[in-house]
Amino acid sequence: MSKQAKEYLELFKKQSEKMLGWGNSELWTNADFERLSEIIFEKTGVSLSISTLKRVWGKVQYNSIPTTTTLDTLAQFSGYESWRSYCAKAEASSGTDQFAAPVHQNNAGRTKNVRLIAAGLATVALLVIVLVWMSFNNKVNVIDKSNIAFTSKMVSDELPNSVVFNYDIGKNHPDSLFIQQSWDPSRREKVAPAEHQHTSIYYYPGFFKAKLVINNTIVKEHEIFIKTKGWIGAVQPQTSPDVPPVYLSDKDINLGNGQIGVTAEILKRKTNKTVFADVWTAFFNAKEYNADPKNFILSATLQNTSTKEEAACRQAKINIVTSNGVISVPLCAKGCISDIAVKVAEVTIDGKNHDLSALGCDFSKPVSVRLRVKDKQAAIILDGKQVVNIPYTKKFGRIVNLIVIFEGPGIIKNIGIE
């Protein structure tokens, strides 16, 4: 990447930090990049994966310049037509207060200014040529949606579950064609425009919106709902979402006395590990819940049963998944609240820049958790005391999945939604 390209990219990142109001990007968490990916998609209609955004922001070592598509999408997210127009604005505003672009001055002085002017004129000429060419070829980029078809079927009612996608893009001749398995832009698979079928494996239950994507534009989407027969458990790998989890049997997770969960002994046997830092055990109950998403109460008793030596932060999390959004209630050891984040619809409150100490728990005994959703307010109540209240605006859809996640072993009791 050239020095000038790096300067413009650094400038863009600083401006984005100010625009988002999330503070220094060096402190951003994975949840922040997930939310950024969602915001960019909402504003531009283009999905940039979390890994791509992390490369742009320097969280992952990557020495090459981002692709033109990535740069153009980032520029559009900031209100510019393209990355070229963003850079032109930066260059034109160099040294002014209106646009704090890098200043390109050195000892060569006038000589470099002359070169910059010549380069600028050449860039403008090239841009004019490109625009003229596009005006003559704009019909090629128009997507005809009238005859596009996109359907799917599940091949099993167990997990893992393969889904067969049937697609037909009509007379379109796209530069790229993808099937995206869910909301996550990283779960895209390239497919052949001339073909009509593709299969994908889903390792986890839940509600997904599969998308057919032509030239980074979503042209069709539909629901895929992989249900469970009661509660199931799985140990989630940290390497990749495409690596299958270690499933837990009914015997493993039914602990008696109405409790579900997993013991440290079973987890050690399943994972061959004695330390559970970043070993995440998830419990799912995916079904249609008969509860009003605008007015409901979730109640549960939770306990992360790791010792401090097995998992220092002893995190636990309840996710209520709806067809149009998620509520995520995190708990952890009192000293680890910096690493958690609460999510309610479009609102994310991160422990990196908010005081979430009220969600720090003493897991030496079970913790009573209630979530009350009413009048666009989500209140979290721990052991009978309201500790967090979050207003939101986005409408939730129907409640379709309840997920409890522990760092290491844990116990769930008396959980339900009404």
Query: What's the rounded mean pLDDT across residues 153-160?
Result: 93
* Ramachandran category for residue 314: left, alpha or beta (phi over 0 → left; psi -120 to 50 → alpha): left
Is 282 part of any domain?
A: yes
Are residue 175 and residue 253 in the same domain, yes or no?
no
Residue 287's domain is classified under what CATH number?
A: 2.60.120.200
Residue 165's domain is classified under what CATH number?
A: 2.60.40.10
Q: Are 174 and 214 in contact (CB under 8 A)?
A: yes
Reported confidence tier of residue 110, pLDDT bands at 50, 70, 90? very low
Residue 96 has pLDDT above 70, yes or no: no
Q: Can you name the residues that pair with 214 across neighbouring β-strands?
A: 177, 217
Among the listed ranges 20-29, 161-170, 352-361, 401-410, which one has the minimum average pLDDT value?
Answer: 20-29
Are residue 211 and residue 262 in the same domain, yes or no?
no
Residue 386 has pLDDT above 90, yes or no: yes
Only one residue has tokens 């909301």, namely 183
Query: What's the rounded mean pLDDT across residues 117-136?
Result: 52
Is 111 part of any domain?
A: no
Are residue 175 and residue 47 in the same domain, yes or no?
no
Among the listed ranges 83-87, 174-178, 237-241, 264-268, which one has the minimum average pLDDT value?
Answer: 237-241
Structural domain including 212 reads 149-226
Is 140 part of any domain?
A: no
Q: How far apart are CA 367 and CA 259, in angstroms?
A: 14
Is 110 part of any domain?
A: no
What does the angle CA 181 – CA 330 – CA 357 come to, to the nearest 5 degrees?
Answer: 145
Are residue 266 and residue 163 in the same domain, yes or no?
no
Are residue 26 and residue 157 in the same domain, yes or no?
no
Reported confidence tier of residue 3, pLDDT bands at 50, 70, 90? low
Torsion of CA 16, 22, 28, 32, to 10 degrees: -90
Among the listed ranges 127-131, 282-286, 295-299, which one has the minimum average pLDDT value?
Answer: 127-131
- Domain end residue (candidates: 201, 226, 251): 226
Taking the alpha carbons at both ends of the chain, their separation in whole angstroms is 55
Are residue 237 and residue 367 in the same domain, yes or no?
yes
Query: What's the rounded mean pLDDT across residues 251-275?
Result: 94
Are residue 265 and residue 356 in the same domain, yes or no?
yes
Are residue 33 and residue 53 in the same domain, yes or no?
yes
Q: Look over the chain and give the mean of its residue pLDDT values, rounded to a whole number.
A: 84
Are residue 161 and residue 262 in the same domain, yes or no?
no
Is 92 part of any domain?
A: yes
Q: How far apart are CA 319 and CA 344, in angstroms?
A: 10
Is 50 part of any domain?
A: yes
Query: What's the rounded mean pLDDT across residues 304-308?
Result: 95
Q: How much of the chain, in percent, has pLDDT values that exceed 90?
A: 55
Is 121 part of any domain?
A: no
Query: How many domains, the chain?
Result: 3
Are residue 341 and residue 301 in the same domain, yes or no?
yes
Reported confidence tier of residue 91, pLDDT bands at 50, 70, 90? confident
- Domain end residue (candidates: 199, 226, 253): 226
Are residue 237 and residue 384 in the same domain, yes or no?
yes
Is 257 part of any domain?
A: yes
- pLDDT at position 10, please? 84
- pLDDT at position 336, please? 94
Are residue 70 and residue 166 in the same domain, yes or no?
no
User: DSSP letter at 103?
Assistant: P
Q: Are 11 and 148 in contact (CB under 8 A)?
A: no
